[in-house]
Amino acid sequence: MVSRVKQLVVYALSPLLLLSFVGQMAHAEDAHKSGWSLLNMPRGVTSVSNDIYDLHMIVVWICVWISVVVYGVMFYSMFAHRKSKGAKAANFHESTTVELLWTIVPVLILIWVAFPSTKSLIELYDTSEADLDIKITGYQWKWQYEYLGEGVEFMSELTTSEPAIYNQEPKTEFYLSEVNEPLVLPVGKKVRFLITAKDVIHSWWVPDLGVKRDAVPGFINETWARIDEPGIYRGFCAELCGKGHAFMPIVVNALPEAEYDAWLAEKKLAAAAEREMAKKTFTLEQLMAKGEEAYNRSCASCHMANGEGIPGAFPALKGSAIALGPVDKHLDVVINGTSGTAMQAFGGQLSEVDLAAIITYERNAWGNDVGDMVQPLDVLKFKQGQ
């Protein structure tokens, strides 16, 4: 008896709960809240993301209203047609009319949904007349961005530290959503993204832009976005790509056009400045400090912050023959990678300064204490085949 009342209460309340949830969702449009108020997809800052949001809400409301009717009939029945209340079973068990009705009506509803869906998809696929082209390459486990025709390209890697991940240090506000170099884009311009991958399939997803496209090795995909508002928009890799899948976020910094132009100009100068830096001579302290930072960002995901790697998967650098051995061999492995393994060729990814610092760090950290240093010029000479 008590359980019947409980059932009735829960069943009667459920549609109300459902409606209130959906109601809240519709108001929780800006998902840049966190915690409990995170209920719905963000509207985002592009026409595509807004189209998608509107379509999403249309389908949600259709589902809500259908549930109210369908569950309503069911809950009514569970209340009114209980044997314990003396209900006697009727005997009907088929009706062609009713079957036709509830086949045709859903088809009509679906056709009705198909129209805006088709329109949105066509819009989403139209990459024509872009103002700029960005090549995005997914790596295990970071992104590379290249501004076609501008001579600007860089790696964008997670800066959250290993101690923070392993709960030895406090987590920053943008834990797992922060990178060393965000993708900077102009507001109001149509940006075409050319997406591919270097190793396994990744996927480039920024919810606020309404963009998600798989990065398939050996193939090139294209998609686009026109960002309507300046701001920082964060996204994630959305295709399982190995152990670093959760650790290769995307950060887009959308700047008003003038600021973007200024940034781009500065970036081009910075490329030149970096080449100048490569001619400098650094002290061991400077190389070690820079090296630790660069190593933790670019190498520690496999070789670990303590240099001990992962047995069976990624070799230890602490006490390794390469880190303790001839510099040339060490330079070769870091710059040219090791064929057939996960050790990429970092020569094309990092600056000479970073490479020199990392190699110096690897040779002297964790008790390796080789005592020598590698200068950026050494790296440059090695790359040039001297």
Partner 1 sequence: MPINATQKITIKLVVAAIGMFVFAVFLMPPLYDVFCEITGIGGKTKGQYEGTVAAVDAEREVKIQFVTTNNGAMPWEFSPVEYQVRVHPGEKTAVEFYARNPTSRDMVAQAIPNVTPDNAAEFFHKTECFCFNKQPLKAGEETKMGLVFIVDPELPASVTTITLSYTLFDVTEATEAEAATTN
Partner 2 sequence: MAHGPAKGIGRWLFATNHKDIGTMYLWFSFAMFLLGGSFAMIIRAELFAPGMQLVRPEFFNQMTTMHGLVMVFGAIMPSFVGLANWMIPLQIGAPDMALPRMNNLSFWILPFGFALLASTLFMEGGAPNFGWTFYAPLSTTYAPDTVNFFIFGVHIIGASSIMGSINIIATVLNLRAPGMTMMKLPLFVWTWLITAFLLVAVMPVLAGVVTMMLMDINFGTSFFDAAGGGDPVLFQHIFWFFGHPEVYIIILPAFGVVSAIIPTFSRKPLFGYSSMVYATSAIAFLSFIVWAHHMFTTGMPIAGELYFMYATMLIAVPTGVKVFNWITTMFKGSLSFETPMLFAIAFVILFTFGGFTGLMLAVAPADIQYHDSYFVVGHFHYVMVAGAVFSMTAGIYYWLPKWTGRMYDETMGKVQFWIAFIGFNIAFIPQHFLGLAGMPRRYADYALQFSDWNMVSSIGAFMYGAAQLMFLYNVIHTIVAGKPTSEEKTWEGAEGLEWTLPTPAPFHTFSTPPEVK
Contact set with partner 1 (CB under 8 A):
127-130, 133, 135, 137, 146, 148-149, 192, 194, 196-199, 217-222, 332, 335-345, 347-348, 383-385
93 binds partner 2 (CB under 8 A): yes
CB of 108 to partner 2, least distance (A): 10
In angstroms, the CA 339 to CA 145 distance is: 24
Task: Report 302-361 residues binding partner 2 (CB under 8 A).
Answer: 310, 312-313, 342
The footprint of partner 2 on residues 207-266 (CB under 8 A) is: 207, 210-214, 216-219, 221-222, 234-247, 249
**Does residue number 9 form part of the binding site for partner 2 (CB under 8 A)?**
no
Rounded to a whole number of angstroms, the minimum distance from the CB of residue 196 to partner 1 is 5
What is the four-CA torsion angle of 207, 298, 313, 145, rounded to 10 degrees? Answer: 40
Candidates 60-68, 142-150, 273-281, 326-334 — which segment interacts with partner 2 by CB under 8 A?
A: 60-68
277's contact among partner 2, partner 1, none, with CB below 5 to 8 A by partner kind, is none
**Closest distance between partner 2 and the C-beta of residue 96, in Å?**
8
115 belongs to the binding site for partner 2 (CB under 8 A): no
Least Å from the CB of residue 66 to partner 2: 8
Instruction: Report the run of H or E that residue 152 belongs to, with start and end.
Output: strand 152-156
Closest C-alpha among 213, 266, 276, 201 to residue 239? 201
Window of 94-102, 322-330, 352-360, 362-370 that interacts with partner 2 by CB under 8 A: 94-102
Which of 281, 282, 294 minimizes the C-alpha distance to 334?
294
Q: CB–CB of 289/149 below 8 Å?
A: no
**Continuous H helices in 197-308:** 257-277, 284-298, 300-303
Q: Is 176 in the site for partner 2 (CB under 8 A)?
A: yes
Calpha distance 301→314 (Å, rounded): 10
Q: Among partner 1, partner 2, none, what binds residue 375 when CB lies within 5 to 8 Å by partner kind?
A: none
- In whole angstroms, give the CA distance from residue 169 to residue 155: 25
Name which of 386, 305, 303 is nearest 342 in CA terms. Answer: 303
Structure tokens at 77: 């029945």
